[in-house]
Structure 1
Amino acid sequence: MKNYKFSISFVGTNYSGWQYQPNVPTIQNEVEEKLYYIVNKKKPIKQKIRAIGCSRTDKGVHAIEFVFNVKMEFDKDLNFLKKALNSALPKDIKVHNIEEVPLEFNSRFDALKKTYIYKLFFDEKNSPFFQDRAMLVYKPTDLGKMMEISYLFLGYKDFRGFTKELEDENGYCFVENITFKVDYPLVEISITANRFLRYMVRRMVGTMLSYAQGLISIDDVNDFLQAKKVSNHTAKANGLYLKKVYY
């Protein structure tokens, strides 16, 4: 038995996230199904394939780099496996690298930090090109205010106010940096942290947007950061990309 680390990218538009769910398409469903067929082809005893993902992703979220690992027996060249997988997988999922790693490696628990990017498209001309690949913004937005408020999120903070609900679990995350790449009308926000809570990036971006549009005050943002209340300002899933996982 060996442990293999896979690096893939995908467009999440047609999937209900990474994690397996019955009766709906997910990325995990696709990779496990195709791996099972390739690895067990012409073998009398079939081995079970279980892919451990580095993160959950919500429906419609994309990935530039997503990592998962699988423990299995495989006696052929890894380049053959990569080519076979890319031939079998849908065109919106691509395998970029496969390598053998120590048996104890776990793509989720061994991750040191992750970088997400969020794409905003300020759609003044109703462009068709970013419908599923960025959040379309129609309201007047002060980008300077978005950048100004982003500094409040840096450092070791309690982000329970930016997840689904105020829970008792540990909500502390260390946000290492937040940067803006402006190529108007496209704006990319990059966020790197040691860990992320569910909906955290989307609610951070949604909160920054609402502040920049004059819908909430800086006091509201501070209340969210002190976990006094939960932000319901959630940016859409289609603008979110997992960019990099660090080990």
Structure 2
Amino acid sequence: MQTSDTNLQSSAAPSAAAEITATTATEISPGSTVPLSTPNTSTDPVPKRSVDEATFATDDSTAANKRLKTSPDAPSGGANQIPVDKRGKKKGKGSRGQKAKGGDDNRQSSSGWARRGTRADGEVAATGSDDGNKAPRLPKRQCAIMLGFCGSGYSGMQFQPNAETIEGTLFKALVKVGAISEDNSDDPVKVNLARAARTDAGVHAAGNVVSIKAIVEIPGVDDLVRSLNEALPPQIRVWSVLRAVNSFNARSRCDSRMYTYYFPSYLLIPPKPKFDTADESSGSTSTSTSTSITSDADLAEKRRWRVSEDTVTALREFAKKFIGTHNFHNFTVEKDFKDRSSQRFMKSIHIADPVVHGETEWISLLIHGQSFMLHQVGRKMMATLVLSVRSGTPPSLLDEMFGPKTVFVPKMPSLGLLLESPIFESYNEKIAPASKLSPDDPEYRPQILFEAHKEAMERFKQEHIYAAMRATEDMFGLFNDWIKSIDVYKGGDLSYFIGGGAIPEHAIVKKGVRRQNPFRELKRFDANNYERVVPMEEDTAFDDEKVDRRMLDEMEG
């Protein structure tokens, strides 16, 4: 994977580009990914917890270890460790109403602790089946699965019941090749599945990481990565399956994420003032706009338009205001200014020089941030950037939007958004000693680096992601439909884009106060399969998005 100061656009991108970087921006460490190591298959006793494993107790497992008073000699297992007395019975607050079981699932160590649901390398337990035959229960190992995907046709990354998702498809492939046992095949929660970055419906990823407890030594499977790719559709590719420390969680161990947004430059064509409209609720007047090219027949003229150097410079200057720590409550849903979780840190933004593909000129923008809220990165931030620059709004508008005033911000189409990769800098640094061991060493843990898969990922982006984006735009004119939906709107919700950098009173969204003529977003811009999208004039507008606040954390990425 390339660093944050590298142009991650297509190979045809020109060399000249401007970069905007925060002073604390981090780089992706170079390195190569090593294949999954072979577990120890000896019958030796369960090894003691290594220094590297002990270092990587997660917040949850650390809290559990404190409650259970884990001794330094206790074996690994985190919250699965259960205190026992001399007679082998469980003790402690969490064991009320439970019976201690003997055998493989509940073994007592020399330190007086029992482990549940953990086996030594090479140890198998028998499990019964309906016909009375015994099938071996193979040991599971905590793994990091590195993958990429084209999100068209999928309802996002995260597993959802009764919906086709990237995780759901990957999970089925893991079951098919034997990496997930039949006992665990009905629920991803059983294998601790987590993702480094969640993506919306229709959003793509060149690189993402899924943590999971999987069977890695499968009888008859010599190459797990190859077997998984044979079981997956071509638009989902597994780059590597790496052994991770037992406490590894892809989401909590991820330090930052990098996204690219890819859009046709004609979105920056300045709007043409057409008429004034009075806001009914305030009596104030705001200028509405209409694009200078409105008919579908003139779309070809838009595509022949080329952005000026001055406009690209203005784009880069405006983007600088996003860098650093700010309150992004206006760039997501169900958050307000007082919510501390709205504070996010943007490390760098890199805007490449425009590149022409076919008849259309495209611009790519690479954003490197610590974390992003729902719809923040490539939807609401990008809409603010594009709409401000095309209308000549000064960057000082962002100072107002980072403040306590709440405004409505439309979302750019999901089509242009691409997750480049998550970054695990602190994890890689701490396991560096273990990554230098021989792959045959049971303590070996490789670093999570996408650099080794750079060429394969670039080919995948060109063939499955960028090609799909351009083909969809060529066929449906989706970005043209989006900018037209902005220009034909006659209300006051978006009047702050022509307010000289200040937010007018009638554009402020107030809790409990109904807005007059609110902007309605069309479903087509959130679609995951554009071939099924109805014509724009028949599209159904939906109200402001409502999301259960308890689910917002899971929707971040």
- Which amino acid in structure 2 is aligned with residue 241 of structure 1? L
Cα 1:63/1:72, change in 2 over 3 Å: same
Give the whole-Å Cα distance in 2 for the aligned partners of 1:22 and 1:230: 33
Q: 5 Å matches for 1:215-226? A: 218-226=395-403
Whether contact under 8 Å (2:319, 2:385) holds in the other structure is yes
Give the whole-Å Cα distance in 2 for the aligned partners of 1:71 and 1:230: 43
What's the TM-score once normalised by structure 2's chain length? 0.40
Structure 1 position 65 matched with structure 2 position 207: yes
Listed one character per residue, the Cα deviations across residues 57-100 of structure 1 (whole Å, up to 9, x for unaligned) are: 10110001011011123323986111111011111100011110
Tell me by how many angstroms 1:28 deviates.
Answer: 0.8
- Which amino acid in structure 2 is aligned with residue 189 of structure 1? L
5+ residue gaps in structure 2?
1-139, 268-297, 356-360, 425-557
Whether contact under 8 Å (2:197, 2:257) holds in the other structure is no
1:236 to 405, 413, 433: 413
1:149 to 318, 331, 342: 318
- Which amino acid in structure 2 is aligned with residue 177 of structure 1? S
2:143 matched to which residue of 1? 4
Whether contact under 8 Å (2:256, 2:369) holds in the other structure is yes
5+ residue gaps in structure 1?
128-135
Listed one character per residue, the Cα deviations across residues 2-50 of structure 1 (whole Å, up to 9, x for unaligned) are: 1110111100111111111222210011001111121169x7x533444
Give the whole-Å Cα distance in 2 for the aligned partners of 1:69 and 1:105: 7
1:75 matched to which residue of 2? 217
- Which amino acid in structure 2 is aligned with residue 172 of structure 1? Q
Whether contact under 8 Å (1:175, 1:193) holds in the other structure is yes
Structure 1 position 109 matched with structure 2 position 252: yes
2:334 matched to which residue of 1? 165
Deviates more, 1:114-123 or 1:174-183: 114-123
Listed one character per residue, the Cα deviations across residues 172-199 of structure 1 (whole Å, up to 9, x for unaligned) are: 1111100101233121101111111111
Give the whole-Å Cα distance in 1 for the aligned partners of 2:247 and 2:393: 46
Q: Identity of counterpart residues, as a percentage?
A: 23
Structure 1 position 196 matched with structure 2 position 365: no
Point out the structure with the larger helix share. 2
Q: 5 Å matches for 1:113-128? A: 113-122=256-265
1:26 to 146, 149, 165: 165
Cα 1:146/1:40, change in 2 over 3 Å: closer
Whether contact under 8 Å (1:165, 1:230) holds in the other structure is no
Give the whole-Å Cα distance in 2 for the aligned partners of 1:123 and 1:31: 37
Aligned residues: 237
RMSD of equivalent CA atoms: 2.8
Give the whole-Å Cα distance in 2 for the aligned partners of 1:52 and 1:150: 31
Give the whole-Å Cα distance in 1 for the aligned partners of 2:194 and 2:222: 21
Give the whole-Å Cα distance in 2 for the aligned partners of 1:205 and 1:11: 20
Whether contact under 8 Å (1:159, 1:227) holds in the other structure is no
Deviates more, 1:230-239 or 1:183-192: 230-239
Cα 1:228/1:75, change in 2 over 3 Å: same
Give the whole-Å Cα distance in 2 for the aligned partners of 1:234 and 1:40: 39
Whether contact under 8 Å (1:223, 1:229) holds in the other structure is no
Give the whole-Å Cα distance in 1 for the aligned partners of 2:381 and 2:203: 16
Where 2:152 maps in the other structure, the secondary structure is helix
What's the TM-score once normalised by structure 1's chain length? 0.86
Tell me by how many angstroms 1:241 deviates.
Answer: 0.7
Give the whole-Å Cα distance in 2 for the aligned partners of 1:76 and 1:188: 42
- Which amino acid in structure 2 is aligned with residue 223 of structure 1? E
1:187 matched to which residue of 2? 363
Listed one character per residue, the Cα deviations across residues 93-147 of structure 1 (whole Å, up to 9, x for unaligned) are: 00011110001010001001111111112369968xxxxxxxx9x9989333221
- Which amino acid in structure 1 is aligned with residue 162 of structure 2? N
Whether contact under 8 Å (1:145, 1:211) holds in the other structure is no
Whether contact under 8 Å (1:66, 1:244) holds in the other structure is yes
